[in-house]
Amino acid sequence: MPTPEQTSVTANPLAELGLFGGEERDPITPFTLYGTNFKKYLIEQLQGEKIVSRKKGFTVDACVGAVEVTQETPQFQGLPTGDKALYAKDRVCRKAEGQDLKETCRSACEAACSEALDTYSQRVTQESGFALLPSDKARMTKSCGRNCQYECAKPGKAFDFVIPYRK
């Protein structure tokens, strides 16, 4: 009688070649990350709701949320990108303060993108039992962070960005 190691799928050379769908993707519903970032060209020291003082520097608020394709109705499509980010289900906002604009943008964007994708991935796994591949998650996090930072570094106060996932 063969042992379990001898009969396992990994012991089969055809399975290692991928002929039986060993690397098949879970059927994740396509989604889009909608994000927005808002900059202030100063750092406010708050005491509760009251501004106590201001100092030179940058404050960046980055917000990112995932919206499934099934939720993108014609009414939703008519909204400006910034509003789409507001209506995303598990929207994540992160704030960063600092003296260097690029570093402040990077910090806020990476935190918001990473946490938004983690939250969305957990929700999809709980609802459907399927998981986002780690490579896709890493690619989406990197793409989201890069686009967010690019928009954040532009002159002006607020910019929006969109990252689609269609695999």
Report the percent of the chain where pLDDT is more than 70.
Answer: 84
pLDDT at residue 12, as a whole number: 46
Q: Where are the domains of the chain?
A: 25-165
Query: Helical H runs in the chain?
Result: 4-7, 13-16, 74-77, 81-87, 101-128, 134-153
Overall pTM > 0.75: yes
Contacts of 119-127 with CB under 8 Å at 24 or more apart are 119/66, 119/90, 119/92, 120/31, 120/66, 120/90, 123/89, 123/90, 124/28, 124/29
pLDDT at residue 128, as a whole number: 86
Task: Examine the pLDDT at 71 and tell me if it is beyond 50.
Answer: yes
Condensed to tens digits (0 to 9), the pLDDT of residues 103-155 reads: 999 999 999 999 999 999 999 999 988 888 899 999 999 999 999 999 999 99
pLDDT at residue 3, as a whole number: 56
Task: Examine the pLDDT at 35 and tell me if it is beyond 80.
Answer: yes
Most confident residue range from 14-18, 24-28, 30-34, 86-90: 30-34
Lowest-confidence pick of 22-26, 71-75, 76-80, 96-100:
22-26
Condensed to tens digits (0 to 9), the pLDDT of residues 81-101 reads: 888 888 887 899 999 999 999
